[in-house]
Structure 1
Amino acid sequence: MGEPTTELPPTLETIYNADSARTSYEPIRLTTATARHILEIPLARNVLGHDSSADNLATLRAGTVTYTEYVAERARQIVAEKTEDDEGRVVKSQLLHVGLAALFAFLQSNVTGPPLPFTSAEVVLPPALRESGNDGAATLRTVRDFMIRGLSVDGEAAYQLIPNVELFCVAKALLVDADVLVNAADAPLIARTARMRVNFLHQKMLAEVTGTLQQSIYDDLQEIDTILLRTSTTATGEEKARYLLERAAIHTHHGFEAKARTDLEQAAAETGFEYALTGRLGKRTKFQERDISQLVVLAKSAEPNTATKQETTTPATETTATKPKAVDLNDDTLLETIAFAKKEDTPEKSMTVQDESDLPEVLRSIDPSNQPKLSPLDSSILLGIASAITNSSPDHGLTREETLPYATRVIDGGSPNWQIYTQALLVRSRIERHRSRTVERSVLQMQALVDQVIADTATDEEEAAKGEQSGATTFLPRPERSESAPAEERLEYLWTLNFLTRWSLEAELAARWVDLGGLRTALEIYERLKMWPEVALCYAATQNEEKAKRIVRRQLYEPTTPGNEDDENEKFQGPERNPLPADAPRLFCILGDIDDDKAMYERAWEVSNQRYARAQRSLARLYLKDKPPQMEKAEEAYAKSLKINPLNHSAWFAIGCVQLNLERWDAAVESFTRTVQLDHEDAEAWSNLAAALLHVSPSRPAEMPVEGANEEGATTQENEDEGEEKPKHDPYKHKRDALTALQHAARLKQTDHRIWDNLLTVAASFPAALTPYKEIVNAQRKVIELQGPKKGEKSIDLSILTMLVDHLVKNFHYEDLFIESEEKDENGETTTRKILRRGTVGGQILALIDEVVTPLITHSAELWLLVARVELFRGRPSKALEAHEKAWRAVVASKTQGAFQMGDEKPWMEIVRATERLVREGYARIGMMDKEDRPEGSEEMVARDWRFKARSAVRGILGKGKDFWEGSEGWTRLKELSSEVNG
């Protein structure tokens, strides 16, 4: 191993003395040679144990203490021994650089490449841990196994074959566990950033998200926010954009897509990036004869500064050699890229997602086939948007169509940075796997990326040979070292991307083969990676559950007959292995999933020292499957899981639903409040929160952190802070909060008629003085729009519509609901036209009845009577009388069979009452009114012959009912009504 020749960074001794480092986001830049040199400075050799005797390292070989714990403890001791301020700062500066160098080298060897030019074990580990005894390789494997087992968090195990894991352990020990670099008053911002990054990388190395790491990550993010994003910060726009992109990647990984998109938009504002998803005419297939609208992302970076101008303006011929290979489509129908029509050849305006007239000025003139190069950060923004959208709705066709242009824009004209281009190919591959025409390229591109990463992260000839022997082949020729980008370029923007480790990328490739039915290929990959849970899940997905159970039990239990492990018929019914594998909790849960066995989940919880939250969630779901469901036990299990992982959105939602069933309203309010805090776009959670709030006792004070909640809560807090008299208790506080929650739910899920129906009911339940009539009108309109085509007039809530009509008639004057507008006709003459004031409640009610309700009425007499009231309010008695007649006909038509053919008294009396109403309220009252459209100065009644019409209606009913109802009460009432009309 030759001596590295490079200059150490100037901050190695001074970063804890530099005031500028307090707010500088990334003041340290490393190269591979620099990283190696830092790992070999005297302090590094001391803290890594090179100066310790073999006896002192015996506990590491025995597994009593992990290497991470050993390095962290030595770092604490070294810092504690330095009493002088200047000397202590130098030590902390050097320890920070050692941790960052180890992190840099680990990422290079597991994420980006190119291969490390040194053997990490020789540089990092003391000789006693890699050369001890007759078999140094066995000792090294044992030490590494202890390291990997020590990376388990909350029962989640790290991948068992992590290459060069000692590098990550050093970074974790110095930057996280030692806890001496961040909490000091003179700590630079990069120290906290490094801790957050190590924790996030650790999170990515586990099978599932863990609450412990997630809490640590978001605690650090909150501290960085206060330093980097405050108004008085000296951070540049590029630094803020980098941080926002990194935070967006963290949000995306944890499933917070809405927060990620917010950060991406803010990052674009910081860099001055202009982009839009729109449509331009073009051809997508080889046989297309005419241009049709194609989705495209138009994007342009702001004027680059000196640092970025050199990269963004580099000619394409100079950058193509430093980018990974993109696989061609080679389809007999689809073009490689969309052939957009020239602007001058398209006089018609294309259909757009974002209307062309709304595009920023800098984007309107861009040729979609020849767009300007993007800066690296702006390219990362587009890829972040694509990842956030895909993550939130991966199986939605329209979403995939909208996502693909973002990745295509980066591939065709984004930054030539090696890692950004690799990420763009990966994102495109994920999107294209859903289309039959592109699925082949999707898999081949993924295979090419996997091969590239495997080739670029092999650290020595032995590992490369091992990869070939295990079946790893190279789909594309491995690039020459001169054609490959250096590590510092690949790592420059890594944290702004949602990157994957090499084994995670291979696992995703295997999952892709599972989707395509290539189970054998997928199993070969999983078995080579020794991902036994995934192997078992593959078999379970193909209904081969016995094979899946055998694979899992082989990892957990001894064979039934000792020495019989290779027998295909072995069931592994012996005692548990000692020690159990690090991923035993997950394996026990897989057995529980296959057999619906509660004991397996309980065992998973036990072996994880009551830290594996997934076991309790699975146990709760099994309790809910029981007949009858064991709600109390399910609630208890969910509560235990949330104690371990309090940021799990789905668990909060599930426990809230259980509490609703148990009628524990206060607890349900708290659970759904936590749910919407974690995901503000969960419509179902908002709706359930409203349901819980409606059942909470009005005397109980409530605080609901609802976006846009009424101002009363804030006023109350102000008064309390100022010592003023508290306001009177509001008995409708919970109902107001429920209405606000339903408004959020309806905004997020506008096609769910149940949410709108609940919103309608709650809004209409307030006292008259507090009733939100606009909300009622809007909700009723939406319910009719969604349910009208199926349910017709039954989608109209009669009682609520009656309340609206009452409010209209009693509180508004018809003329006040209109404004006059002067317009000129074809002859140039000015005419006056009345326009309904839709901004008023009265105008909205009138529009609802005219545009939505009336066209839907078929058989409802009650609705026609409401229309009659509205027509009288308008001063149109003729229309009101027509509505009365339609109401009467609707009753007669619907009750004829029961009243006149079956002799049922109930429908007979309804017809009698309807006839009385028609005669007395319709003909006798309205018929004698002045007609609305009579000539000015004349007198004309609405129905001059109203007596004749009334007599005809009464005689017709008497004639039909004579056989059954002569002499009955209804018959007598109709006779009296006839006398009234004749009189």
Structure 2
Amino acid sequence: MVSQDIFLAEKSLLRGSWDDTIPEPLSPALHLAKLACSSQFREVLTSAQARPLFRTSSHDVQFSFNGLFNNQVLAECSAEDELSRFVIATVCLQAFVQGNWTGPDLDVHSFELLKSNSDSTLQWDEKTITAEAVAELALGGEPAYHLAEDPAFLRFSQLLISLRYEHLSTVEWWKLRIATVHLCILDEPVALQYDFKNLLKPLAQLFADDPDLLGRLYLEKGLLEHHLSQDQLASDDFVQAARSTGLKYELTGALGKRTKFQITEHSQLVLLAESHLVDKCQDMQDAHSKHSTFHVGQSSTTPNVQTLPQTLPLNDDTLLEQTAFTFSHREGSRSQLRHLDPSAQPPLHPLDQCILLSLCLNVRNTSPSHGLTTEQMNPYVSRVISHPRNWSIHSMALLLRSRLESSRTRTVERSTLQLQALIDQMPTSDSKTAERLLYFYSIPLPSKWEMEKELAERYLSLGVVKSALQIFERLEMWEDVVKCYGTLEQREKGIGIVRDLLEGRKEEANAVLSRGKASSSRQKLVQDAAREAKFWCLLGDLEPHNAAEHYLKAWSTSKETSGRAMRSLGGYYFARGKYEEAIVSLEKAVRINPLLSRSWFILGCACMRVERWENARSAFSRCVALDEEDGESWNNLASMYLRLGEPSQTTANNVEGKGSPLAIPDENTMVSFENKMLAFRALKQGLKHNYENWRMWHNYMIVSMDAGELQETCRALGRVVEQTADKVGSIAVDEDVLDRLVNAVTRAPANAEEAQTQSEGMLHPNEGHGLYRSVLSLFERTLLPRLSSSRIFRAYARLLFWQGQWEDAIKAYLDGYRCSAAGTIEKGEVDTEKWRAAVVEVEDIVDILRNFGPRVEGYKWRLQGRSIVRIFMGRTKDFEDEPEWDRLTNLQEELRKDEQ
């Protein structure tokens, strides 16, 4: 067999359609690959090449996957043998996906493979194999879903793909696919042992000239990162996938109508997109052209309408089924897609449709939680739904539309019915298996049980608790069952279910949880330890008085592999102020599963409480590495940088902040400038995702002032005032910060040319004229329209004096005086100390009038000063016996003499 034929066969397996350029006659291994591409899984798994792989014996009392395969057969490493094993590994994965994601129902089962290869009656049955597969698929302490259909297929695939391959090029890609599928059956995502970023680099170079496979590679890598909540990395890969395929897309606006009775057209969001890939799929290649146009169900290049998932109509008396756009050529537009008519765009290549759906997911993940998110996602989904090309892709698009419509009154009914229709279609044979699997790895299509769980959660949101409860019970998702009973105020019933499961009084569909004595010579069935540990954790959540005991039981049951047990125990200790114990538990939890940012966050908080600043910094850094939108962690990380006496060796790309006050360093701790800048950058990053949190802005103001970033200090002070002035008034302003900003401006020469000369031709943005405009805008647009404070007016006046605006500056000082104690003092005041402080204020304002009044032409400053003194003395005659009264009398006399 020529190596080129092997490579073409590998590419065919990746695409899911056979390459007809491979010459006939085919070798046995190539024939096996062709059967796999046409989804004839039974023929592959019962073939002459597959049967010798499995070694089953009547002497095997306890089943284990580790010793399943025939070592003698595996030792053969010719290219033909490697390809055969490789095809069988991929088919096992495909069979598992068909059974649990795409449907229709499987016509082959893993137990048949083992039974047909045994030399006599087996000592174990299908339930034993399934239970062992579920147990071995548990990863990082997270249990696999126990009702997954034929999980042994996934285990077979994992073991076969982990063998040594010397003649094949795409093994790492299939490891990526297996890992992604594996993550989808776990309760929580866990860290993977493979570094796919580096492992897939050779593949990117290998397929550099194949835009279809290169686009798939980046897309599938991005979807794995999506499952691991690494949204920024996923975003980069989705964009790279679009570049690889040549997809052009643009989210823009176009005139259109959204309702049946709308007369005036308004600008509506629309996604313009155009493919440049040529579709080479076997069922589409005859008539496809990248320039072809067609409508839903009317093209020979698409599956028949009957083979597509049912698209339910909206049937609303007001809303249109889809936005009606008006096409107009955008003269002068630089867009590459200006020639496209928004209402009649050409069909997209199926892979490009997958990319758009993934970009749509990224909009959800990287946008704030506000109304625009749905509006941004709708155009992506509508662009895909408008031209159905593939069963699975269309299902994913309808599912996304269902999710988007679930929160709107006029669309919630269709949303729920559409979700139910998607679930009902899974086991049917309305389309070919090969078509359903063609682009499965390029979309985040949920499994059957995940879709049913989503339907149950939809029922819960609508208040239909009993219907949701029935679904959860059928799916044996006991944690959700317990929540439903809590909603129905039947908490004790939920506790009873968990205890019955633990004590063997309740049977599950595929795993009998028997804890009694065995009634036969066979060993009793062993429950998956990870699931049993989960039940003990759930019981701990339900019984707080025995929570610690139950969590420790879960930890021992799982043989110290249950991350949830330690997460729960750490949270239990933290809530009760036992921080040292919490740290011990949480450190174990994050070692098991380092992908859950909440565990890192609580660990960081516990370290803060016991003043382990370096450990807290590390924990909060991990938080923001996992979720860069976690503003609370950015804030806390900034606080830790200010606590550390020496600069950290890590960068400031990770931080967090809920908006709690910054930890103030000890007086004896010298905070380095590097750490101050790290804290500054941390808060700056956190504010991108927590823009409305005034506490974080206040912290940012303090840190930026300390770091010398006065432009940002000015901006932060303005945001604090905008968000809090209506509630707290003038105390919203940190007047010390305001004075320092004014000082930074006024210490430079007032003449701009002179200041520029002194600074060697550059105006520094954080002082003098470089800062002046920002500070002036802060006063005139933010502070003065909202607040009246003596100190604010004085600071404003100093800024005006610096610019030589004498009259405006005097007016500002007078406004400040009217807000001061002297300007607001009333008759009958008895507080002597307050009166004495007011006397000083009167003297100050008179000095200001005396010094600057003469600079304003025609300004009667003496009259103004005498009036101020006279009014003040008239209001405070009760203090005539005080020594300071003579000072007022003398001041009044001096003003009279000056006037003469």
**Common fold, TM-score beyond 0.5?**
yes
Match of residue 842, structure 1, among 768, 772, 786:
772
Shift of 1:556: 0.5
1:758 is matched by which residue type in structure 2? N
- Residues in 2 aligned to 1:589 and 1:612: alpha-carbon distance in whole angstroms: 9
Q: 1:865 to 1:499 in 2, by over 3 A?
A: same
Task: Please point out which of 50, 53, 58 is paired with 1:54.
Answer: 58
| C-alpha contact (below 8 Å) 2:141/2:592 kept by paired residues | no
- Aligned partners of 1:161, 1:946: CA distance in 2, in Å? 90
What amino acid does structure 2 have at the position aligned with 1:849? F
Match of 2:743 in 1: 806
State the alpha-carbon separation in 2 of the partners of residues 129 and 283 from structure 1: 71
Amino acid at match of 1:193: W
**Equivalent residue, structure 2, for 1:463:** none
Whole-angstrom CA distance in 2 between matches of 1:343 and 1:114: 45
Alignment-derived partner of residue 471 in structure 2? 525
Unaligned runs of 5+ residues in structure 2 are 20-32, 509-513, 519-523, 656-669, 757-766
1:587 to 525, 531, 535: 535
Change (3 A) 1:359 1:452: farther
Contact 1:71/1:170 (<8 A) preserved: no
Preserved CA contact (<8 Å) 2:326 2:342:
no
Partner of 2:716: 779
Match of 1:741 among 682, 690, 702: 682
Corresponding residue SS for 1:764:
helix
1:804 aligned partner, one-letter code: L
The reply on whether 1:445 has 2:406 as its aligned counterpart is: no
Equivalent-residue separation in structure 2 for 1:314 and 1:334 (angstroms): 27
Give the Cα separation in 2 of the matches to 1:908 and 1:575.
Answer: 91
Structure 1 residue 24, shift from structure 2 partner: 12
1:556–1:580 CA contact under 8 A, matched in 2: no
Q: Where in structure 2 are the equivalents of 1:79-90 lying within 5 Å?
A: 79=74, 81-82=75-76, 87-90=77-80
Report matched runs for 1:247-646 at 5 Å: 247-302=221-276, 304=278, 310-311=287-288, 313=292, 315=294, 316-317=297-298, 318=300, 319=302, 320-321=304-305, 322-343=307-328, 361-390=335-364, 396-413=370-387, 415-456=388-429, 479=430, 484=431, 486-558=432-504, 579-582=526-529, 583-596=531-544, 597-626=547-576, 629-646=577-594
Deviation at 1:648, TM superposition (A): 1.9
8 Å Cα contact 1:642-1:651 kept in structure 2 = yes
Q: Displacement, 1:915?
A: 0.6
Q: 1:889 aligns with which of 798, 801, 818?
A: 818
Counterpart position of 1:673: 621
- Give the aligned partner of residue 792 of structure 2: 863
Q: How does 1:171-190 map onto structure 2 within 5 Å? A: 171-176=157-162, 179-181=163-165, 186=166, 188-190=168-170
Residues 777 and 687 from structure 1, CA distance in 2 versus in 1: closer, same or farther, beyond 3 angstroms? same
- State how far apart, in whole Å, the 2-side matches of 1:854 and 1:869 are: 15
Find out whether 1:205 has 2:119 as its counterpart.
no
Query: 2:873 is aligned with what amino acid?
Result: L
How far, CA to CA, are the matches of 1:151 and 1:240 in structure 2? 30
Cα–Cα, structure 1 residues 359 and 241, in superposed 2: closer, same or farther, change >3 Å? farther
Which residue of 2 is the match for residue 906 of structure 1? 833
**1:812/1:131 Cα in 2 relative to 1: closer, same or farther (>3 Å)?**
farther
Question: 8 Å contact 2:624–2:634 — kept in the other structure?
Answer: yes
For 1:11 and 1:168, how far apart are their aligned partners in 2? 28
Summarize deviations over 1:413-446 as a string: whole Å, max 9, x none.
3x51111111111111121111121111112111
Equivalent position to 2:643, from 673, 691, 695: 695
What is the letter of the counterpart of residue 516 of structure 1? Answer: L
Match of 1:950 in 2: 865
1:794: which partner in 2? 731
Alignment partners' CA distance in 2, 1:357 and 1:636: 66
Is this contact kept in 1: 2:614–2:644, CA < 8 A?
yes
Secondary structure of the residue aligned to 1:811 is: coil
Give the 3 Å change call, closer, same or farther, for CA 286–125 of structure 1 in structure 2.
Answer: farther
Distance of 1:909 and 1:575 partners within structure 2: 92
Q: Which residue is equivalent to 1:961?
A: 876
Q: Is the 8 A contact 2:828 2:876 kept in 1?
A: no
Q: Distance in 2 between matches of 1:889 and 1:69?
A: 86
Give the conservation status (yes or no) of the 8 Å contact 1:419–1:494: yes
Aligned 8 A contact 1:418 1:490 in 2: yes
Secondary structure of the 1:621 match is helix
Cα separation, partners in 2 of 1:116 and 1:306, compared to 1, 3 Å: closer
Deviations 1:56-100 (A, max 9, x none): xx23xxxx342x32235x35x544x44xxxx44443332222111
Q: Distance in 2 between matches of 1:554 and 1:13?
A: 57
In the TM superposition, residue 121 of structure 1 has moved relative to its aligned partner by 3.6
In 2, are the aligned partners of 1:196 and 1:220 still within 8 Å (CA)?
Answer: no
Instruction: After TM superposition, give the deviation of residue 741 of structure 1 in Å.
Output: 0.9
Q: Indicate conservation of the 8 Å contact 1:228/1:235, yes or no.
A: no
Preserved contact between residue 745 and residue 772 of structure 2 (Cα < 8 Å): yes
CA distance in 2 between partners of 1:24 and 1:509 (Å) = 32
What letter corresponds to residue 814 of structure 2 in structure 1? E
Residue deviations 1:722-751, cap 9 Å, x none? xxxxxxx99311111111111111233222
Q: Distance in 2 between matches of 1:702 and 1:282?
A: 55
Aligned-residue CA RMSD (Å) = 3.6
Equivalence for 1:970: 884
Structure 1 residues 175 and 528, CA, compared in 2 at 3 Å: closer, same or farther?
A: same
SS at 1:266's partner residue? helix
Task: Deviation per CA, 1:266-319: give whole Å up to 9, x if none.
Answer: 222222222233333333233334333333322222364767875464854232
Distance change in 2, residues 1:337/1:951 (3 Å): closer
SS in 2 for 1:326: coil
Amino acid at match of 2:196: L
Aligned amino acid, residue 706 of structure 2: S
The secondary structure found in structure 1 opposite 2:252 is strand
Question: For structure 1, which segment, 360-369 or 324-333, has the greater mean C-alpha deviation from structure 2 after superposition?
Answer: 360-369
Instruction: Please report how far the alpha carbon of residue 39 of structure 1 lies from its aligned counterpart in structure 2 after TM superposition.
Output: 2.6
Native 8 Å contact 1:241 1:268 kept in 2: yes
- Cα displacement string for residues 223-267 of structure 1 (whole angstroms, at most 9, x for unaligned residues): 23432456x974533333212211222222222333322322222
2:86 aligned with 1:96: yes
SS of match in other structure, 1:293: strand
Q: What is the Cα deviation at residue 203 of structure 1?
A: 1.5
Check 1:744–1:14 CA distance in 2 against 1; reply closer, same or farther (3 A cut). Answer: same
| 1:215 and 2:142 are equivalent in the alignment | no
Counterpart pick for 1:854 among 777, 784, 787: 784
| Cα separation, 2, equivalents of 1:314 and 1:850 | 57
Q: Where in structure 1 are there 5+ consecutive unaligned residues?
A: 1-8, 345-355, 457-478, 567-571, 709-728, 820-836, 932-939
Question: Structure 1's 394 and 541: CA in aligned 2 closer, same or farther, altered over 3 A?
Answer: farther
Q: Under a length normalisation based on structure 2, what TM-score does the superposition of the two structures give? A: 0.85
1:329-370 per-position Cα deviation (integer Å, ceiling 9, x unaligned) = 2223322222234549xxxxxxxxxxx899762333422221
Question: Equivalent residue of 2:323, what SS?
Answer: strand
Q: Decide whether the 8 Å contact of 1:24 with 1:190 is kept in 2.
A: no
Q: Give the secondary-structure state (helix, strand or coil) at the position aligned to 2:270.
A: strand
Matched, 1:109 2:109: no
- Contact 2:567-2:599 at 8 Å conserved across structures: yes
What secondary structure is seen at the aligned counterpart in 2 of 1:145? Answer: helix
The separation in 2 between residues aligned to 1:886 and 1:642, in whole angstroms, is 59
